[in-house]
Structure formats: structure tokens, C-alpha cells
Amino acid sequence: MKALAAHRRHPLMALALLLIALGVVGGAYGVVTTQPTAADTVMVGDQTQIEEGRRLYLEGCSSCHGLNAEGTSAGPTLIGVGAAAVHFQVATGRMPLAAPGAQAPVKKPDYTAEETLAMAAYIASLAPGPAIPTAEQVDYTNADVAEGGILFRINCAQCHQAAGQGGALTQGKYAPSLMNSTPTQIYEAMLTGPQNMPIFSDQTLPTEDKQAIIAYVMELQQAPSPGGMSLGRLGPVVEGLFLWTAVLAAFLAAAVWIGIRAR
Amino acid sequence: MSDLTTRGSDNSGDKPLPEKPHGILARPEYEGPGALTVADVEHRPRRSDLDPKAARRVERQITLMFLLSMVMVVLFVIAYVSLNSTQTVYIPVLGLIGAQNVALGVTFGAAIFFIGAGAIQWAKKLMPDVEVVQDRHRLASTPDQDAAAAAQYERGKEESGFAAYRILRRTLIGALALFPIPLVVLVRDMWTNTDPALEGLSPAEILSETAWTDGLPIVVDGTYQPIRPEDIPVGGLVSALPENIREIQKEFHNLNERGKSAIILVRMDPGEIRSQQGDGWDYQGILAFSKICTHVGCPIALYEHRTHHLLCPCHQSTFDLADSGNVIFGPAARRMPQLPIGVNEEGFLVARSDFQEPVGPSFWERG
């Protein structure tokens, strides 16, 4: 506080404040929006790919999931989880785990897209399971966003929060934010139930409904916050907390500054 | 006058005072009624008191702040006119937000900030900061004032006739005592159902009954499609409602029944089910539980399919669905009510009866 009080008399201080204010206004034109990347789905299946996948599996996954994907005390069986589960877990970097813990966090993927598909093909060859959704399945261009919103609030919002920002579960587990998820990943997650997420099968939540949900999430990802700082879109509780902590702290600091004796 | 400024310097004697006082010190000391005594403490003069150059610099600073405030007001008007209210801007940390909103907020906030900061600087640097003593007046009132107040009270009692008209006094007290009764009646009335079929039932009875009956098909919430057991994989979760929910909502024009009969269906390996609220209430590992938390009634479907825990996001009540929906953590006092289910001839999941205990938050008769 003393240091601040000492510096504020500096003639450059006023100039700096002006520059900051002008920079904020000027930055108003630097609009940057990112478009979601198209689904990167490829067909899985031929024998050399399966062989390659098996090699990669034995190298990177078998220590926890077993030499024949039968599962060990360290990891569940992968027989019957399907290519979609492998693609979701490996392409988002959740697997292989960096360290055992309550949650498998998203990180930079360890494998290339090709290697991921090879492993998916190998696991899919063990037993039938959900396949990686096709580009057609995750195409949400004609989906009903409003319907997707209704379905999202019924089926997803309880864990991922109404605006897809994610939320806490029990004992250190959490439902991740969906703000960086691709349509394929969202579809795969609903289909396979990664970690503690329940499965939303194509029978109870058909493809059109999943597309509607994807359309809603994509809408959320691009939605601006016309009112200012969104604060994670967590609603009035967060706004209140922000006011009572950050803003009040700023006011207290200002009050202290007013009370400091001038030199 | 020099008496004021030399008070501290006399002791330290490090810096000689400038010959010609400046700024506020150039003015004659205020005397007369209202003048305050200078406190008998060591006074440390400010740089702007001693150095005319410093005082000039402060003056320039404050002027600049007031000018900046004017600039901000001009920028505010420019932003208001030139920016479209639908334009957005990406600002790191804040994200994609309304451009006009940011511009208006920053310029208007800065305008008022610079006025305030300038005023504070002025007060701190240029206005006199000599410590003075202001005596506090006595807090207690004088005996004369006490006597006057008491006399006024007595006179009021006498003149209003509050003591003399006994019947008026008593009926007024009676009227005020009865006045809160309508409020109590209204509170009691809050649960009364407008449905004639439920007339005369206590809240406990109304909340104990939901739309579920034997053989009523279960449909998916949102799509209203009936469900076959094979549609739900192990680890699956379905939010569901009774088949006739939309007719009920249409009839009563409210969502009360949805609030009572909403359920979740989960499927687990039958071997993992440790206990249920009734024998064979599952169907091949598919369990139906109320979706309404027994604590204060939040809808919950945070089902972790590996631990079988159902977590309420409001107050972290946790129910173990593999063990009769018992509470394992949190403030909920009752287990999550389970709905017995089966399949009909067409192979669709149906309820086998209503809930056997009241759903929703705990209330007085329920405990």
C-alpha cells in the first residue's frame, strides 16, 4: 500500500491509467471467435490397424487394463467398451492416466489420431461395443437448439451445469466443463459413459436428440456475454460472491488509500 | 500561523522552512467562533507544505485527473453513439462480452473515479491537515430535559384520554391482538389443493400420493417415449415420468405432479445391489428412485455409475442407490423413496404401485 501511495504521484501514472482505459475501449474491435472443428471421424477396422492397435495397447495400456484387456485392480476391463470409449478417452488425453486419482483429467493427447484409431480398432475387435460416431451422426446443422436445451437441462445439467460449465461430484470427482468439447466427444461421452458419467443409450436418447444436445452445447460455446463478465455463467450466487470478495476488497483497498496520511 | 507548521520541525530541526509560505498556508489562520484548538501532538508537515514545487506538482496532478474525467465522459458519449449494442469483443479473462457494455462501463466508471481520486488528492495534499481537537458533547440529557419529556408524556396520556376511556383502551388492545390471525390462516392455507379430488386431505396425505399406479408405463422425460428394459445399458441413467404426465399437467395447468412423480431409472449389475426398499422392486438390475431430494426438494440426477452414489447439488446430500437409497452423507434425513417397477405384456417398463413413502422434502408430519 505504501509503495502504491508512493508511486501514484508519478506523472506517468495518470498516463498509464489513460492508456489502460483507451486500450480497453480500443480492444472492443478485436473480435476473435473460434469455430468448432469438424468431427474427425474415420472408419475403423482392417487387420493391420488392429495389429498396430494391439501393439500400442500392450505398450501403453496393458499395465492397468490387463494383457488381454480383461481388467486388473488398477483399471476396468475394456472388453465390450467399444471403439467410441477408446477414442474418447485417448483423444481427449484422459487416458493413459498421468497418475491414479479421483478423476481422469483432460490433457494433451499422448497418441496421434491414427494411433488412437488403431487402438480403438483393437478394442472393438475384442467384443462388440459402441462404434465411433460417424460424421453424419454428429452433424447438428439441422438440429433443434431449443429442444436440445430442454434435453440438456433434463439429462446433463445436473452435473455439467445448465450452461455446460461443469461442476463438482463426490470425493474429488467432478463433471468437466463442456466449453472445449467437440461434437464427436460429446456424442461419445453420452454413448459410453466415461468415468462416473452414466450411459445415455441411443434407445432412450436417440441420435436426433443427441444432435440437439450437441447443437445446444455448441451454441453455449459461442454464446457471448452481452452483460459483461460471465463469471462461469454460474448465476447470481457467483455474482454475489464476486461482489463480496473481489469488489469489496477493492473498496477496502481504496478506503485504506484514502486514510493513509500524505507525505 | 508559523506556529502551526513549525510545531514538528522545532523538535527535529532538520529542514528549514521556506521563507514564503504557499498554498493553504499563505492564508490567514481561521479564528473566531467554531475555530478548533490545535492538538498537542507532533505535526509532520507534508512535502507540499514545505516545497512550493511539490505543491505545484500536486496541483497539476489533480487538474489532470479532473481533465481525464472530462475526457472519459466524452469517450462515453462517443462509445454510446458509435458502438452497436449487439457488437461483441473478446477480452482475455472476461471472455466474449458486449463491446458497448464494456466501453460504457469503463468510461463512466473512470469518469467518476477520476473525480473522486482528484478530490481525495486535493484533500490529502493541499487542504490543511493540522491535527485539531473537537470536544464531544455530553451524551446524557440534562435533568431539565428528562423532566420535560416526562411531563410531555403525562400530558399526552391525559389529553388523549387513554387512561380515562377504559373501554376504548381495552377494545383497541383486543383489535390489535386479533389482527395477526388472518396471516396465520393464510400460512395454513398455503398447501390447500384446488383439486376437488384431494379436498379434505392433509398435506401429508397429498404429498404421499403421486400419479404412479400399478401398470402405469414409464416414459422418458423430454421425449415421452416408453422404455424397454433392454434400452438401458448397465451404467445407464434415464430421467423418467409417468405416461400420463402431460394430460395431468394440461388438466391442472401446473407442474405439481411433475414435481412429485419425477423419477430416475438406473441400471446396475444385479450382483451389485446390496439391498432394496422392497423385495424384487428392481427389474433385472433396473432401479427406479424418486428424483426429488428428501432434504429440501431439489431435483437430483447426479448419479455416479461406478460408485452408485446419487449426489444432490444443493446441499451435497448423498444417497447410495445400491443400498436402498440410504443417506450416506449430507443433511437429508430420509432415504430416497424407491418405486417398484416391472414390465407389461408389451415389454415396456411400468410402475407396480405408487411410492410406499412420501416423496419430496421432509415436512412436519413426516419428520
What is the mean pLDDT for each group of 10 consecutive residues in chain B (367 residues)?
A: 40 45 48 76 83 91 97 96 87 82 93 96 87 84 94 93 90 95 78 67 76 94 92 93 93 87 94 93 95 92 92 92 94 93 95 90 68
Interface of B with A in 73-92 (CB under 8 A): 75, 79, 83, 85-91
Q: Is B243 on the interface with A (CB under 8 A)?
A: no
Could you tell me which of B301, B158, B295 has the C-alpha nearest to residue B239? B301
Q: Rounded to an integer, what distance in angstroms lies between the CA atom of residue B338 and that of residue B80?
A: 58
Q: Do B103 and A28 touch (CB under 8 A)?
A: yes
Per CATH, is B209-351 categorized as 2.102.10.10? yes
Q: Per-domain residue ranges for chain A?
A: 40-132, 133-224, 239-263
Chain A's closest residue to B46, CA to CA, is: A263
Quick check: do A40-132 and A133-224 share a fold?
yes
Gap from A15 CA to chain B (nearest CA, Å)? 10
Q: Per-domain residue ranges for chain B?
A: 2-133, 209-351
Pairing state of beta strands B318-320 and B237-242?
unpaired
Gap from B235 CA to chain A (nearest CA, Å)? 5
CATH of domain A40-132: 1.10.760.10
pLDDT of the residue at B199: 73
CA A54 to the chain's CA centroid: 28
Chain A's closest residue to B63, CA to CA, is: A14
Residue with cell 455530553: B138
| Superfamily classification of domain A133-224 | Cytochrome c-like domain (1.10.760.10)
What separation in angstroms does the CA of B346 have from each of B163, B215, B243, B298? 84, 11, 15, 34
Neighbouring residues of A211: CB distance < 8 A, sequence distance ≥ 6 = A137, A138, A139, A140, A142, A143, A148
Interface of A with B in 36-65 (CB under 8 A): none
Comparing CB atoms, the residue among A28, A155, A203 nearest residue B83 is A28
Chain B's closest residue to A146, CA to CA, is: B222
ipTM for the complex? 0.71
Q: Is B102 on the interface with A (CB under 8 A)?
A: yes
Comparing CB atoms, the residue among B106, B220, B307 nearest residue A25 is B106
Q: Do A198 and B235 touch (CB under 8 A)?
A: yes
Degrees (nearest 5) of the Cα angle B261, B263, B269? 150
Mutation pick from B63, B78, B96, B310 vs chain A, by most beta carbons of A within 10 Å, is: B96
What separation in angstroms does the CA of B336 have from each of A191, B197, B245? 27, 27, 21
Q: Do A169 and B329 touch (CB under 8 A)?
A: no
Comparing CB atoms, the residue among A193, A204, A209 nearest residue B231 is A204
- pLDDT tens digits, one per residue of A55-100: 999 988 998 999 989 988 888 899 989 999 999 999 999 988 888 8
Could you tell me which of A125, A206, A216 has the C-alpha nearest to residue A178? A216
Chain B's closest residue to A76, CA to CA, is: B306
Q: Do A229 and B97 touch (CB under 8 A)?
A: yes
pLDDT along chain A (263 residues), means of 10: 58 66 56 36 66 91 90 88 92 88 88 92 90 92 93 92 88 90 94 92 92 95 79 81 91 90 77
Mutation pick from A165, A170, A173, A260 vs chain B, by most beta carbons of B within 10 Å, is: A170
Q: Do A158 and B301 touch (CB under 8 A)?
A: yes
Q: Rounded to an integer, what distance in angstroms lies between the CA atom of residue A21 and that of residue B74?
A: 13
A213, A148 contact by CB (below 8 A) = yes
pLDDT of the residue at A20: 67
Task: Tell me the whole-structure pTM to 2 decimals.
Answer: 0.70
Gap from A173 CA to chain B (nearest CA, Å)? 10
pLDDT of the residue at B24: 46
Residues of A in contact with B57 (CB under 8 A): 9, 11
Strand partners, B237: B266
pLDDT of the residue at A9: 62
3-class secondary-structure state, position B3: helix
pLDDT of the residue at A197: 93
pLDDT of the residue at B14: 46
